[in-house]
Structure 1
Amino acid sequence: MSKVISFATQKGGSGKSTLALVLAAPLATEYGLKIAILDCDYQQSIVKTRKQLDEPSLAILQETDPDATYPYDVFPMALKSIFDFIDNPENDYDLIIIDIPGRADGEDVFNALTGCDAVIVPLVSDYLDRASTAEFMGILEALKKAADKADVDFQYFGLATKRIAGRREEKEMDDYIDELGLSRFQSYLSHRLAYTRASTLHSLLTPAFRNFAGGTKDSSEEIRRVCDELIEKLDLPRRKADEVAAELEESSDTITSSDTITSSETK
């Protein structure tokens, strides 16, 4: 049975769509998970990334490899339709990721969250984001109590994004989350330009694309730690990421910026 998660928060601009993009491709290619993203956000950022930026790159890849395809599926979808998708036995995904609209304050959003095994809340250290996180915790806590009463599995976690090392606000965020009693990932994603260039076609763990996007081995390690922790928390199947990473480093020259990553130049 598929595990279902959402990246959700009370405030737009926290990076939840970016978070889905950063993690989905590595989880599919390096960890071997069958993944679907349901893009329910009004902005359709993930759908637009695939259509406008990655589709031309895939066409170039298919000129030399006709079997080349996307590593995971993306579906534009209204929130009211997600349960039909989740409950369809033909959709045999390991992980379904729901990209929730930016403001989680409507009944349709609340209902969508009830269909998730886990909700992951991007944690941004700015004051206004912290205040919005506190409001959202009330929604998640109500869901958790209802799920516990019904003996249904439901978890929620904070995951620090756009983290800037040594910044005072980061320490304040850590203390704030402790006060709320929010379960959180020990891993995090720093404030890196490469993450805003994430693709639905290429993984940021692939050295050639990572370097093209402006990433480093440090950014790869951050992503890998988040993936490992997510897999552990949700008890998902996995391949050995260290073996895949070694293979990728050895083949880092197989993708070149001149022929297969052309669409990313616009990001």
Structure 2
Amino acid sequence: MVILIGNQKGGAGKSTLTLLFANYLTLVKKRKVTVLDMDYQQSLASKAEKAKILENEPLYDVVPADLKLFPSLHSALSSRSGEIILIDLPGKMDDDGLLPLFAAADIVLCPFAYDEFSVDSTLLFAMVLRKINDKAPFIFIPNRIKNTVKYETRAEIEKVMQRFGVIAPGLADRVDFQRISTFQTPLILYPVVLPLLDLIYSQYLEWGEQT
């Protein structure tokens, strides 16, 4: 199973969401996971290396890779029974190497914020991906929601987004997200993230537990 975590806008929270989901799948659901870090910054691969230096063994393999290597990597990983491949995508869409990834996606997770620039980038990402893959569930995830801020255009934004996918429960803005690593998610975050991750798992992944 291939799960893309992407958005055209950098800083949307793709890498953090990838770590959250990878840790959840391995620690809570005991699934086999490989993370392909295809973001240009490769921050996940750096975190994995730092964990090893600190003698904290990562829960899963984090493989830094160029987009052009995806077909070969996909072929190799597909032979592993029950493997879940999480892919942290680049924050840009100007590379034709993205097309095979879009086509191969079984699920797409798209973190976004309710500001105008983020929404425009999010919708462009959704439109392009949907032209290539109109089958994979597309899940928009509101990120860094501030309880003190009133999002006046939220209803209008969500109405447009629902043309391309579903909108999941959001993640509150918490400084603790900066402490997530490739070997743990701070326990204080579990009440914040479990409603979202449990929902995604039960609705879109649970059927794959025996495959």
Tell me, in whole angstroms, the C-alpha distance in 2 between the residues paired with 1:158 and 1:75: 25
Matched pairs, number: 206
In 1, are the aligned partners of 2:3 and 2:105 still within 8 Å (CA)?
Answer: yes
Tell me, in whole angstroms, the C-alpha distance in 2 between the residues paired with 1:174 and 1:158: 14
Tell me, in whole angstroms, the C-alpha distance in 1 between the residues paired with 2:126 and 2:79: 34
Partner of 2:91: 102
**Shift of the alpha carbon at 1:47?**
0.3
Tell me, in whole angstroms, the C-alpha distance in 2 between the residues paired with 1:197 and 1:113: 30
Amino acid at match of 1:120: L
Partner of 1:22: 20
Structure 2 unaligned residues grouped into runs of 5+ = none
1:233 partnered with 2:206: no
What is the SS of the residue equivalent to 2:70? helix
Amino acid at match of 2:193: I
Amino acid at match of 1:192: R
Partner of 2:129: 140
Tell me, in whole angstroms, the C-alpha distance in 2 between the residues paired with 1:173 and 1:103: 24
What is the SS of the residue equivalent to 1:112? helix
Q: 1:17 to 1:129 in 2, by over 3 A?
A: same
What is the SS of the residue equivalent to 2:166? coil
Tell me, in whole angstroms, the C-alpha distance in 1 between the residues paired with 2:121 and 2:107: 19
Tell me, in whole angstroms, the C-alpha distance in 2 between the residues paired with 1:194 and 1:132: 26
In 1, are the aligned partners of 2:32 and 2:82 still within 8 Å (CA)?
Answer: yes
Partner of 1:83: 71
Judge which range, 8-17 or 85-94, deviates more: 85-94
What is the SS of the residue equivalent to 1:121? strand
Which of 115, 128, 135 is equivalent to 2:117?
128
**Shift of the alpha carbon at 1:29?**
0.8
TM-score, normalising length: structure 2: 0.88
Amino acid at match of 2:196: V
Structure 1 unaligned residues grouped into runs of 5+ = 62-68, 146-152, 205-209, 211-215, 239-267
| Aligned-CA RMSD value | 2.0
What is the SS of the residue equivalent to 2:198? helix
What is the SS of the residue equivalent to 1:38? strand
TM-score, normalising length: structure 1: 0.71
Partner of 1:44: 42
Which of 67, 70, 73 is equivalent to 2:58?
70
Which of 175, 181, 186 is equivalent to 1:199?
181
**Shift of the alpha carbon at 1:166?**
4.7
In 2, are the aligned partners of 1:185 and 1:229 still within 8 Å (CA)?
Answer: no
